[in-house]
A and B are shown apart, each in its own frame.
Chain A
């Protein structure tokens, strides 16, 4: 079976750090929201703020990395094979059909993943960050009078922030589950840890374009 080095070191670090931070944000965030009591409200709020800054920092690095490496293109949406991929997850996966998409270094994500991650990046994340920063700096906004002028109350800000958090939670659940749908349940998780993805026996033509040093057998 062929292996390909798909996920680079920074990418893996970014992914797992982001995973930990987002889980921490969800845990503390829903406590601040009042859904349960875990850390105690004050600690939850404090942690939520600190972790938010860590996540913002990580994101700045990640954005820089995506643009300097051109990796941002991985999230360009495509309809090519989208239907086939969706069909695979709906039916084919149960009859052991081969995955219609072949992972390559130039195209790490199948069209459904591309779409999902793009939605996270262009909808959920901006909603969370914008509403979160407004939430965090609500007092300063209030002092300038903008909040009153725009009719943007803390309740509205919190509503958007919470809605985005629910979307992120739903994404996280789906994402964690779909991570088990590799050719073995842990194959994709392993790839995300080591960077090496197991390729199917008959690689698609694109795979051959990968420089030799990136592929081993």
Chain B
């Protein structure tokens, strides 16, 4: 125990003597939390639309006004020539073309139906999907309005139309910032914890001081614990700091128990740091380590469900995700913060990670070689 204490004193002194450490702990997270939360938005504003109105009727104007009134759309150009609009789309100066053909109003009135063309730039599929959804909504509103104005006599028709009023649980205003922020917090804790721990051990290997340590009677578990504990404390602090920033900047809801969140984080961070230490036992230089660690980290983060729900991944990907600690924490942090989940709701994730933590630590300790 005294030996471990001696080593911990050494590690803490070295960490805080390192001049880049304080910025990494304080500045990087704040920048990341502010920048990424806004940048990683799934909400779209200012979609550039070109209107090709070849009808120039009352009905077509009403439809176009629906788009211009929407905060999501910005009508960048109006024309009567379709080829001109298309050249804007191909020239990347527009995201979507709304094409209203000649006799739009007339046909709508006479035949009660007509065609409307929407051309969407679908290079970014998520974006295209969203544009389509927004457009459908506006056209739907136009439809209801036309019906009630033109055919208002037929009251029964109005009555029978379905009026869907969704109620969004756990995030009533669909504030993407709250959703993204909790995810980014997970990425942050993972990134800082795993990288700092792994780099620290490999750096000692590079400097040759591990050789001096290996020739002493220090036990392997003591050495590994001394490398783990400081960064475990730092990562937990980072989580607390991040939650505070979230509270202040985004009014991040904290419906569930923070104690439960930290209990879970305690185990999660051991897993992440354990993986970092394991990677550092198989790398000899910081460069090697960075390559390996980046591979793991990017895979973990992209598959964690930060952007896309893990449930919609293919079955095999979901199986792989059982080994992805970030996927567990991503789910649990949102469950606790937004939904107020209790221990019994997250117990499966909790115990899975606990087993994971024990296994990865055993792996890291046994794989650390005092003798080669």
B partners with A:
no
Chain A interface (Cβ < 8 Å from any Cβ of B): none
